[in-house]
Amino acid sequence: MARRNLRGLRVLVTGASQGIGRALVVEAARRGCRVLAAARSQPLLEELAAQVRSAGGIVQTVVADVTKPEDRTAMVAAATQHFHGLDVLINNAGIGATGHFMDSAPDILRKIFETNFFGLTETTRVFLPLLKQGTTPAIVNISSVVGKRALPARSLYSASKFAVMGFSEAIRAELAKDNIDVIVISPGLTQTNFSKNMLEQKAKMPLDHLRGMTSEEVAVATLRALERGSLDVTLTFRGKLLVLVNRFAPWIIDFFAKKKVRELFADEIAERQKKRAEAAQATAGIAQATK
């Protein structure tokens, strides 16, 4: 766990065109980092680069999709070309979906894992050689509170973030010999376009993202963790409370989660009970008639 001075560090941010990723690029550049911003949208990257440079920051961009091997190679080439290496990799790119597992298609889960987990792990893999040669190197994985405590109607996204947590904990020990820190940031609700960009939204009870932290606040908290060498940071009061209660009394969260689901599906439950009662009554009638 290393404390670090951010000024001059070479930083790559994936998923940089919007939301938390964009805020991370702006804040890192403001603090004197040399930033490589990676995302799929060239127009949004160009807009971001113009904003950062007008404020005196140093930024380069690369159009890349973390799920594609050739694009991951392009990110390594860009980091080498522009900055002759890399000190900090921030794995921020992610997608999500809401809805109950039984109502989701298998390809939705696979798409989420391709970006949130495999995209993250394989991006990490290709950058390890550069990071091993970096200055106070670190990998920062942007996870989620639901990667520590899953909630109903978020099973697909939660599963991908639990995988990120497990991967991060394992490689943290593995990379200690190379002096590479592995930092996990778990935001709660955040005011971004994330919910609008989900693969599907089928949850009966949507979460109010406008009540969460701003992207800028998440970016500041992330870079503060990077400076201090904090390895596992959970954001927002509600997020911290959820994790704390789950640690000592997970049954409380289970109770209220089940209660809420039953309330949301009260009509479906009532209809099912009615059909069972009718079937039982019909069975009883048949039995009576055969006596």
Read off the pTM: 0.86
Do 52 and 185 lie in one domain? The reply is yes
Phi and psi at residue 286, in whole multiples of 5°? -65, -40
| Residue 231's pLDDT band (cuts 50, 70, 90) | very high
Instruction: Answer yes or no: is pLDDT of 1 > 80.
Output: no
Do 137 and 237 lie in one domain? The reply is yes
> What's the Cα-to-Cα distance from 123 to each of 51, 93, 191, 219, 260, rounded to whole Å?
26, 11, 26, 20, 38
Tell me what the mean pLDDT of segment 11-34 comes to: 96
Instruction: Answer yes or no: is pLDDT of 282 > 70.
Output: no
Q: Residues for the chain: how many in total? A: 291
198: CATH: 3.40.50.720
The per-residue pLDDT for 258 is 83
The per-residue pLDDT for 199 is 54
- Does the residue 74 lie in any domain? yes
Instruction: Answer yes or no: is pLDDT of 255 > 70.
Output: yes
Q: 132: burial class by Cβ within 10 Å (0-12, 13-18, 19+)?
A: middle
Do 147 and 237 lie in one domain? The reply is yes
pLDDT digits (tens, 9 = 90+) for 107-149: 899 999 999 999 999 999 999 999 999 999 999 999 999 999 9
- Residues catalogued as catalytic: 157
In percent, the amount of the chain with pLDDT more than 70 equals 86
Tell me what the mean pLDDT of segment 24-40 comes to: 97
Q: How many domains does the chain have?
A: 2
The per-residue pLDDT for 216 is 94
Last residue of a domain, one of 248, 266, 283: 248
- Does the residue 54 lie in any domain? yes
- Does the residue 4 lie in any domain? no
- Does the residue 1 lie in any domain? no
* Segments in 142-289 forming alpha helices (H): 155-174, 215-228, 237-248, 250-264, 266-289
Tell me what the mean pLDDT of segment 233-245 comes to: 92
Choice between 144 and 197, residue whose per-residue pLDDT is larger: 144
Tell me what the mean pLDDT of segment 91-110 comes to: 84
Do 228 and 94 lie in one domain? The reply is yes
Do 14 and 143 lie in one domain? The reply is yes
Do 120 and 71 lie in one domain? The reply is yes
- Does the residue 5 lie in any domain? no
- Does the residue 155 lie in any domain? yes
Do 211 and 276 lie in one domain? The reply is no
Paired tokens of 257: 């989660």
The per-residue pLDDT for 124 is 98
Instruction: Answer yes or no: is pLDDT of 201 > 70.
Output: no
Do 135 and 239 lie in one domain? The reply is yes
CB 155 within 8 A of CB 100: yes
Instruction: Answer yes or no: is pLDDT of 197 > 60.
Output: no
pLDDT digits (tens, 9 = 90+) for 66-83: 999 999 999 999 999 999
- Does the residue 177 lie in any domain? yes
> What's the Cα-to-Cα distance from 247 to each of 26, 41, 168, 242, 260, rounded to whole Å?
35, 40, 19, 9, 21
Do 237 and 277 lie in one domain? The reply is no
- Does the residue 3 lie in any domain? no
Do 88 and 180 lie in one domain? The reply is yes
Do 143 and 272 lie in one domain? The reply is no
| Residue 180's pLDDT band (cuts 50, 70, 90) | very high
Kindly report which listed range (48-57, 204-213, 255-264, 280-289) carries the lowest average pLDDT score. Answer: 204-213
Domain range enclosing 80: 10-248
CA dihedral 263, 268, 271, 275 (to 10 degrees): -120
Closest of 168, 183, 190, 191 to residue 224, by C-alpha:
183
Do 194 and 286 lie in one domain? The reply is no
- Could you say which DSSP state residue 145 is in? G
Mean residue pLDDT of the chain comes to 88
